Chain A
């Protein structure tokens, strides 16, 4: 298999749909063969899905279908939800204490977003478009503009894995990502060129 990085090092993709609303379309999107291929290519070994109280049927059905498809090499686990919060799972996604850092794919609940940003694991936010009055889309968009998260859409979830690898690199390389208007700014080089009269 195309496991990259250190041997025997676990790399976890943790998917969480939250506790309040069901989000079965996210579960289906993450248990899609194309998505698993994307994970495999990026060196992932494990997929853990918090599927919520209504998600068990979908999760079980899809995983049994996937069992027939060999080749992706990802170990898949799931659970409904954890009363004690998701600290354990987030730490596992962070790779603590000795595994590779993975990714968190989350519904756009602000509590989950804050928890993941604080632990600093690459985060893909997928707003639940089925919900009415979806202010969560706004939050996901502004956070993506500021370079903190990736705004994931259900239809192209496999592509977000590559994007999350870029986000990881950007977050790991100093300086912190500039946000908003300054994200694209040419910074010092731009000012130097202006003073020198180099016009691009």
Chain B
């Protein structure tokens, strides 16, 4: 008697084949979205609306990041989103100060003109991925909440996002320098890219740059290791020559802060 279709579906061979096919599809998809991703072939025009997402880790991370961005050209990066962790009033205040600095910068190079002020940036607050001393048992829960919030931040802009006549979708570029929240933001970006939600991947959105802290001379931070070997930020920048070439791709371009 021939086996019924149902028993055929439940047969070990079929399950193994299915599992294998799925695994293959997932691997191929991961390979497709993880670096090295091809660079944009079409040059971007200065003045086209863009969205830059900057993750502000905390104290020193925030200070380093804003220092590295002090020459930011608002003609190129027309809209900025700063992601801060809940309770990190310092970083939020620094981001506001930084933006006020861009606004009043002026200067003969024209970089300070336009695309500044209240409508040009927003500060998005996400729950902490893990508080200091938080039990590891509850960490997955808070990390999950953080991840969920990150999806929201990536898909739309946060507070001040109600700018009339301007719509922003995914960030074009994500800039991080740790710590944990940065990893969660990038994880969220990769999940969206993996499933190409809203063309997240096919439109070349959410390229990622990780800048290792200037305080890391000979070893990478945990975030750095994760983003170098597991989640693979598109670009890995280190600030000390001793870290150059880590994972075969860490770039050393001198001190950036």
Residue B255 lies at the interface, judged by CB distance under 8 Å to chain A: yes
CA A192 to CA B69, docked complex, whole Å: 10
Which B residues touch A197, using CB under 8 A?
A: 39-40, 42-44
CB–CB B253/A198 < 8 A: no
Instruction: Say whether, besides A195-B209, A195-B234, A198-B44, A189 and B71 are in contact (CB < 8 Å).
Output: yes
Which A residues touch B72, using CB under 8 A?
A: 189
Q: Mark A152-194, 1 if CB is under 8 A from B, else 0.
A: 0000000000000000000000111011011101111111111
Write the nearest CB–CB distance from B94 to chain A, whole angstroms: 16
CA A189 to CA B257, docked complex, whole Å: 11
Task: Please report the total number of A residues contacting B with Cβ < 8 Å.
Answer: 23
Instruction: Say whether, besides A175-B257, A196-B173, A191 and B40 are in contact (CB < 8 Å).
Output: no
CA A192 to CA B209, docked complex, whole Å: 8
Residue A199 lies at the interface, judged by CB distance under 8 Å to chain B: yes
Complex interface residues of chain B between 125 and 173 (CB less than 8 A to chain A): 172-173
Q: Mark B67-91, 1 if CB is under 8 A from A, else 0.
A: 1110111001100000000000000
CB–CB B39/A187 < 8 A: no
Which A residues touch B253, using CB under 8 A?
A: 182, 185-188, 190-191
CA A195 to CA B73, docked complex, whole Å: 15
Write the nearest CB–CB distance from B60 to chain A, whole angstroms: 13
CB–CB B44/A196 < 8 A: yes
CA A176 to CA B239, docked complex, whole Å: 12
CB–CB A188/B237 < 8 A: yes
Residue B196 lies at the interface, judged by CB distance under 8 Å to chain A: no
Residue B193 lies at the interface, judged by CB distance under 8 Å to chain A: no
CA A166 to CA B244, docked complex, whole Å: 30
CB–CB B46/A176 < 8 A: no
CA A194 to CA B40, docked complex, whole Å: 9
CB–CB B69/A188 < 8 A: yes
Instruction: Say whether, besides A183-B254, A188-B68, A198 and B43 are in contact (CB < 8 Å).
Output: yes
The 10 closest A-B pairs by CB, nearest first: A182-B254, A197-B40, A178-B254, A197-B44, A199-B43, A175-B255, A195-B207, A188-B68, A188-B256, A185-B253
By a beta-carbon cutoff of 8 Å, the part of chain A in contact with chain B is: 174-176, 178-179, 181-183, 185-199
28 A-B residue pairs with Cβ-Cβ distance under 8 Å, sorted by A, are A174-B257, A175-B255, A175-B257, A176-B255, A178-B254, A179-B254, A182-B252, A182-B253, A182-B254, A187-B68, A188-B209, A188-B211, A188-B256, A189-B73, A190-B253, A191-B209, A191-B237, A192-B77, A193-B76, A195-B173, A195-B234, A196-B40, A196-B50, A196-B207, A197-B43, A197-B44, A198-B44, A198-B46
Q: Please name 6 further chain A to chain B contacts, defined as beta carbons within 8 Å, in addition to the given A175-B255, A176-B255, A196-B50, sorted by A numbering.
A: A185-B254, A189-B71, A191-B209, A195-B207, A196-B44, A197-B43
